[in-house]
Structure 1
Amino acid sequence: MDDVDLRKLRYFVAVAEQLHFGRAAQKLHIAQPVLSRQIRALEDELKVTLFDRDRRSTSLTPAGRQLLADAPALLSNAEALRRRVRRAARGPRTFTIGFMPGLIVTAAVRALTARHPELTVELVRTSWDDQADVVRDGRVDVSYIRPPVDQTGLTIRPLFAEPRVAVVPSDHRLAGKGSVALADLAHEHLIQDPDAVPEWRDIAVEMRARTRPPTPVFRSVEEKLEHVAAGHGLIVLPLSVATFYTRPDITYLAVEDLAPSPVQLAWDSARRNPLLAEFAEIALSASSG
C-alpha cells in the first residue's frame, strides 16, 4: 500500500460509500469521467477489480470490500500525520485540550498558562463518539475522557471519579426523593444503550422480558434530555453533566448502588512533548484540589 495515492483512496471510499459514480463525483466536486479514470488507475496499481459495474448498479467486489474496511484507518492516520507535522512546524506555542460535556477544565488551563505564558491554549469540546478519535487524529494534544474507550495507542492517566445519577421527568413518581436504589428503577425504560449502564441491565424487567425496543441514535446530551422530558424513559449521566444541563422539566436522582464514573486524561503514546506529562500532573492536582 506504500505506492497507493491517498487521493485515489479517498475517491475509492466516496464511490464505495455511494455505490454510484455520479453521486460520488458530485460529492467530490470532480467530473465523473475523471473519477472513473482515477478508480481504474487505482485498480491497475493494486492489480485487482474493486467494483462490479453494469448499466443498473455498482457493487463492491471482495477486494473492494476489503479495501473499504482498511482504507478509513489509513486515511485517518495520514491526516493525523499531517496535523502532527504542522504542529511540529509551528513549534510548542500551541497546546490543544479536549474535554467532555459537563467537565470544567478552567483551573488546569489557568495553571498551565501561568507556567507557560507564551503558550496559546486551545480547547475542543468532544463527545462520547469522538473523545478518543480527536487524540489519535491529532486534533488535540490531550483530552479528558470518560471510559469506556479503546485505549490502543493511548497513554491514560486516571484523574477522579464522580457519582452517576438517574435523570427523570420532574413529575416522575420518584422525583423529590433524596436517593433511590437501582431496584427502584427495575421497571423503568432506559433510553440510552444498556451497555452504558450494566448495573441497570442486570435488574431491568424489560431486559429479562425481552420487551425492550431498539435504542435510538442520539447525537447529543440535549437530544437525550428532550426524550426524558417528554416521558419516554430515563437516562443515567455523570453528576457534572446532569447539573450542567439543569432544566425545570427534568430532575436527577442519586442512585445508592450505582458505580461512579471515572474521568481520565489521554494522549497519544507516540508523542514526546514534555507538556503532556506536565499537564497531566497539573490536571491531577486541579481535580483533587
Structure 2
Amino acid sequence: MTHPFRVEFVPGVTPDKWLRVWGARLPQSPLEAFPVEDVDAATHLRDGSASMALLRLPVDREGLHVIPLYEEVPVVVVSKEHVVAAFDEVHVADLAEEVLLQDPAHVPEWAEIATDDARERTAAMPPMTTKQAVSVVASGSGIVIVPMSVARLHHRKDVVHRPVVGVAPSRVGLAWRDDDEDPRIEDFIGIVRGRTERSSRGVASAASHAGEGQPGGGNGRDAGGRHTPSDGRQERGRTLPQRGAAPRRRGASSGRTRRRGRR
C-alpha cells in the first residue's frame, strides 16, 4: 500500500480548500495534513518527515524547491485600550517606543527605528510563543507584529490588530525537497495552482519549479518582477486578490503614512 502523502503547514495558513480538492480528485491516494511550527517546517522536509510544506518565506533554499504563493499584510497586535486601537492603520515608526514581544530579527523594520529604551526592555523579555505573547499584549505590556492570518488565529476579546505601514508583507510559499521525485508532488502543485483535473500538468518536472520566485521564473511575475493576474487564486472562473491584501487607498500618498483615525 502506498504510504500517505504528508503535507505540513505553518500557523495562519489554511490549506482546507486544497485538501478538499485532493480528496475529490484523488480519493485513492491518502494525504495527511499536519500543522507545524515555523521553525520546524523546513527541517521536516529535509529529514523526510514531510513531503511538502506550506511555510513562510524567506527560507533557506538549500536542497529545496520553493514556489511563492501569496503575500499577507503585517499587523500590530495591541491591547484593546492601547492608543493604536483608535486608528485604522499605524506606521512602524509610531511603534518605536513599544516593547516588542518577539525576536526583533523577525521585524527588522522595527529594530531599525526602536528607541534604546525599547530595545533594552525587549531584550529583557523571555522567549515566548505567539500565543503567549498575545496574552502578554492583552495586559498592555507590549506588542507583536505578525501576518494578519496569525493575528486572527490568536484573536482575543481584549486585543485588536491594525495594519502596519513600513513593514514588508509576509510571504507564503510551497516547498519540497529537490531530490524527491514522488509524482504526487506534481499533483499537489497542480491543485494549489488551480489547474483543473483535465488540464495538463504543465510542468515537465519538479526541477522546472526551482526558478519560480525569480523574475521571469513563471511565478506570476513579469521580467520586471511585477505581479501579473496569475498571482491571484482561481475560483469560479475569476482571479481573486492575494490573501490578506490591504484595500487600495484613494489618490497617491507622499512621505510616511501616519496613524489614521477610525471612521
TM-score (norm. length: structure 2): 0.70
Q: Is the 8 A contact 2:70 2:173 kept in 1?
A: yes
1:171 aligns with 2:81: yes
| Equivalences for residues 31-110 of structure 1 within 5 A | 90-91=1-2, 94-110=4-20
| Equivalent residue number for residue 95 of structure 2 | 185
Residue aligning to 1:256: 165
The structure carrying a bigger helix percent of its residues is: 1
- Kindly report the root-mean-square deviation, in angstroms, between the aligned alpha carbons of the 2 structures: 2.0
TM-score by length of 1: 0.64
Residue identity over aligned pairs, in percent, reads 33
Give the number of equivalent residue pairs: 198
1:116 is matched with which residue?
26
Q: What code does the residue aligned with 2:74 have?
A: R
Higher CA-based Rg:
1
RCO comparison, higher one (Cα < 8 Å, 6+): 2
For the pair 1:278 / 2:187, whether they are aligned, the reply is yes
How big is the shift at 1:271?
Answer: 0.5
Distance 2:20 2:59 in 1: 27
Matches of 2:140 and 2:58, distance apart in 1? 28
In structure 2, the partner of 1:197 is: 107
Which of residues 142, 163, 188 is equivalent to 1:233? 142
In structure 2, relative to structure 1, the CA distance for the partners of 1:209 and 1:114 (3 Å cut) is closer
AA matched with 2:163: A
- The separation in 2 between residues aligned to 1:238 and 1:280, in whole angstroms, is 24
Letter in 1 for 2:174: L
Does the 8 Å CA contact 1:201/1:207 hold for their aligned counterparts?
no
1:140 aligns with 2:50: yes
Partner of 2:126: 216
SS at match of 2:132: helix
Distance 2:54 2:7 in 1: 8
Taking a change above 3 Å as real, the CA distance of residues 126 and 211 of structure 1, as seen in their structure-2 partners, is closer
Does structure 2 retain, via aligned residues, the 8 Å contact 1:157–1:280?
no
Deviations 1:101-144 (A, max 9, x none): 11110111111222211011111111122111111122211110
CA-CA distance at 1:147 after TM superposition: 2.1
Note if contact 1:189-1:206 (Cα within 8 Å) is conserved in structure 2. no
Could you give the per-residue CA deviations for residues 24-65 of structure 1, whole angstroms, max 9, x where no partner exists?
Answer: xxxxxxxxxxxxxxxxxxxxxxxxxxxxxxxxxxxxxxxxxx
Is residue 2:72 matched to residue 1:162? yes
206 and 148 in structure 1: CA distance in 2 versus 1, 3 angstrom threshold:
farther
* Distance of 2:126 and 2:59 partners within structure 1: 21
Give the counterpart of 2:174 among 251, 260, 265.
265
CA offsets, 1:66-114, max 9 Å, x none? Answer: xxxxxxxxxxxxxxxxxxxxxxxx42x5211101111110111111222
Post-superposition offset of 1:150 = 2.3
Task: Indicate yes or no: 2:153 matched with 1:244.
Answer: yes
On the 8 A contact 2:99/2:118 being kept in 1, the answer is no
Shift of 1:216: 2.0
Instruction: Provide the residue aligned with 1:288 in structure 2.
Output: 233
Whole-angstrom distance in 1 between the partners of 2:30 and 2:98:
47
CA separation of 1:209/1:189 partners in 2, compared to 1, >3 Å: closer, same or farther? closer
* Structure 1 residue ranges without an equivalent (≥5): 1-89
Mark the CA change 1:210 to 1:263 in structure 2 (over 3 Å): closer, same or farther.
Answer: same
| Unaligned segments of structure 2, at least 5 residues | 196-231, 235-263
